[in-house]
Structure 1
Amino acid sequence: MSFSFFKALRPKTPQEVARSIKESLMALDTKTVVEVKALEKALEEVEKNFAAMRTLLSGDGESEPNLEQISQLVEEICREDVLTLLIHKLPILGWEARKDLVHCWSILLKQKVESNYCCVEYIEQHFELLDFLVVCYDNKEIALSTGIMLRDCIKFPTLAQYILESASFVLFFKFVELPNFDVASDAFSTFKDLLTKHANVVSEFLNAHYDEFFDLYEKLLMSPNYVTRRQSLKLLSEILLESPNTQIMRRYILEVRYLKVMMTLLRVFVANPNKPREVKIILAKNKEKLLELLQNLSPGKGSEDEELEEEKEFIMKEIGKISV
């Protein structure tokens, strides 16, 4: 009697893992997707191959991953255009496969091959992959997975810069207000990373697209959604207070329309008859400073300035009434 079937199977080489992933993803073609049984079988194969990739990249819990094998896998994945398939087939993948892919994604991006970020360089040559990931926020089934992958990409300045400059960037102003709270929150996290992770890149972008950006941002500050207003105001202060954005800040604070936005937001807080105790405490604590700041605002003589003067007087009156 032969006991050879008890013998452990030889682990796949990195090249074999990459090839198996490519073949299983390519099997998810239009014909396969239409046939339920064929799709189930193909997805099982993808899931098995992703698990093998995860083990190779992270180890099996008993032994550490082999760095040389990881480099070989990364090189093969880029050479065989597997990275493109990983992203484009994402909407079809099952939950377990997506989970393994998200886990592997950050590891893949960090790996250096011949002193270069191979996967990052690949994406730099295929920027449309980033556009695809951004648009995936419209698919709530995969939005949280692609959001994590996008934030991993944004850690690299060249990839963040591309998204900022791309036509898909403006979609974030829609995504952060999607009706699905989890997806909207995730989109805002990605939006924030884009605007805060690389100060010099962001400064160049804002200088080049000042009017377009702040026109869109004003809508977030005036959103009927309280969470959106609060998050957007906090993020705005972070952006404007970054040292490379000093000129942007000076330009912003000179514009009457943006002062009106801030006055409106302040009015919302001070005029609310049902202010939470925490808000009352903050306003009371800063009462004198706020009154002094408002007193020093010097409107001009236009109709808009007259409106601002009336708004200022109303807010000062309301702040004066605040006590804890």
Structure 2
Amino acid sequence: MSFSFFKPSRPKTPQEVVKAIRDSLLALDTKTVVEVKALEKALEEVEKNFSSLRGMLSGDGEAEPNADQAVQLALEFCKEDVISLVIHKLHILGWETRKDLLHCSSILLKQKVGEAYCCVQYFEEHFELLDCLVVCYDNKEIALHCGSMLRECIKFPSLAKYILESACFELFFKFVELPNFDVASDAFSTFKDLLTKHDTVVSEFLTSHYPEFFDIYERLLTSSNYVTRRQSLKLLSDFLLEPPNSHIMKKFILEVRYMKVIMTLLKDSSKNIQISAFHIFKIFVANPNKPQEVKIILARNHEKLLELLRNLSPGKGSEDDQFEEEKELIIEEIQKMSRLKNLEL
């Protein structure tokens, strides 16, 4: 008597898993999409295949993931152009499939052959795919998934550098103010990562694009949206005060135009914004090489500035002593400006 039908099936190889994913994605063609039953069946197949991929990359509870298989899966994804296929089909995929895809993509991006990250190299050869992910913020159905994938990509300097220098980077200034709060917040998270994850890349970008970047960044600081003002002000201090950006900060604090913006934010109705504005304003005031125009503005406005600063308090739970000490130094410096007789007021 034969019991061969109880024999477990042979596990699929990485090549077979990736081929199955590719074939099931290709099955989501125009004809399939317009036929409801055919689409449902095709999407079920895609979901099943991505579930298998997740099992191979993360383990299935019984067996630990195989490191060599993970590398092979990454290589096959690149070789078969599945990365491109996935991004272009993302809007059709179901929720579970997208969830598995995000989990798997973060693992695949980390796979190395020698010193090279194979999936990162694939993106470097197909930079237009990063543009696609950025533009997807305009589609609220997949915006959060694309945002998660973008932040995984941004962990690698070459990919972050491309997005910063691409035409699509300017779209973030629009996306962070989208009416959908979740999408706008996600876009800001990605925007923040772009400006804070890689010191050297960001420093080079800000050096090369200083005028146009700060021209448009000013719009965020003066936005009518409270969340935008608060987040962009905090982010400004985050990247301006990074040591590699010290030359950018020194240039920024010479400009009366930006000091006026920060002075306006000192008067904001939000205490949080006032405090954040103070931490940038103090750099303008403490600068030992203040231009004459900056000195004149401080002198002309010294009464209002002193009143604002004396009423400014970080509130309970903050580092009160340090704040008060800094505030007193800034007050003294403004008072000194007001006493100078050689300013052409």
Q: TM-score, normalised by structure 2?
A: 0.82
Are the counterparts in 1 of residues 206 and 213 from structure 2 also a CA contact under 8 Å? yes
Work out the CA distance in 1 between the residues paired with 2:122 and 2:230: 38
2:35 aligned with 1:45: no
> What aligned pairs does 1:171-320 form with structure 2 within 5 A after superposition?
171-268=171-268, 272=269, 293=285, 300=292, 310-320=300-310
Work out the CA distance in 1 between the residues paired with 2:213 and 2:117: 31
Q: Deviations over 1:125-148 (max 9, x none)?
A: 000010000111111111111111
| Structure 1 residue ranges without an equivalent (≥5) | none
Give the AA of the match of 1:158.
Answer: S
Work out the CA distance in 1 between the residues paired with 2:273 and 2:237: 18
Q: Deviations over 1:42-64 (max 9, x none)?
A: 11110000001101111101111
Do the aligned partners of residues 103 and 317 (structure 1) sit closer, same or farther apart at CA in structure 2, a change above 3 Å counting?
A: same
| SS of corresponding position for 2:267 | helix
| SS of corresponding position for 2:251 | helix
> What aligned pairs does 1:68-147 form with structure 2 within 5 A after superposition?
68-147=68-147
Q: Deviations over 1:132-170 (max 9, x none)?
A: 001111111111111111011000000000000000100
Work out the CA distance in 1 between the residues paired with 2:148 and 2:108: 14
| SS of corresponding position for 2:223 | coil
Give the AA of the match of 1:136.
Answer: C
| Alpha-carbon shift at residue 196 of structure 1 (Å) | 0.6
| Structure 2 residue ranges without an equivalent (≥5) | 316-345
Work out the CA distance in 2 between the residues paired with 1:150 and 1:299: 41
Are the counterparts in 2 of residues 260 and 308 from structure 1 also a CA contact under 8 Å? no
Do the aligned partners of residues 321 and 161 (structure 1) sit closer, same or farther apart at CA in structure 2, a change above 3 Å counting?
A: closer
4+ long deviations beyond 6 Å? 296-299, 304-308
Q: Deviations over 1:174-228 (max 9, x none)?
A: 1111111111111111000000111111111111111110011000000111111
> What aligned pairs does 1:152-163 form with structure 2 within 5 A after superposition?
152-163=152-163
Q: Deviations over 1:234-281 (max 9, x none)?
A: 11111111111111111111111100100000011xxx4xx66x889x
Work out the CA distance in 1 between the residues paired with 2:7 and 2:299: 85
Work out the CA distance in 1 between the residues paired with 2:128 and 2:78: 15
Give the AA of the match of 2:37.
Answer: K
| Alpha-carbon shift at residue 318 of structure 1 (Å) | 3.6
Do the aligned partners of residues 318 and 75 (structure 1) sit closer, same or farther apart at CA in structure 2, a change above 3 Å counting?
A: closer
Are the counterparts in 2 of residues 147 and 186 from structure 1 also a CA contact under 8 Å? yes
- 2:322 — aligned with what? none
Give the AA of the match of 1:57.
Answer: L
Are the counterparts in 1 of residues 266 and 308 from structure 2 also a CA contact under 8 Å? no
Do the aligned partners of residues 44 and 160 (structure 1) sit closer, same or farther apart at CA in structure 2, a change above 3 Å counting?
A: same
User: Percentage identity across aligned positions?
Assistant: 67
Work out the CA distance in 2 between the residues paired with 1:321 and 1:194: 36
| Alpha-carbon shift at residue 67 of structure 1 (Å) | 1.4
Residues matched between the structures, number: 309
Q: Deviations over 1:282-314 (max 9, x none)?
A: 79xx9xx97x959x997857xx98776554432
Q: TM-score, normalised by structure 1?
A: 0.87
Give the AA of the match of 1:92.
Answer: I
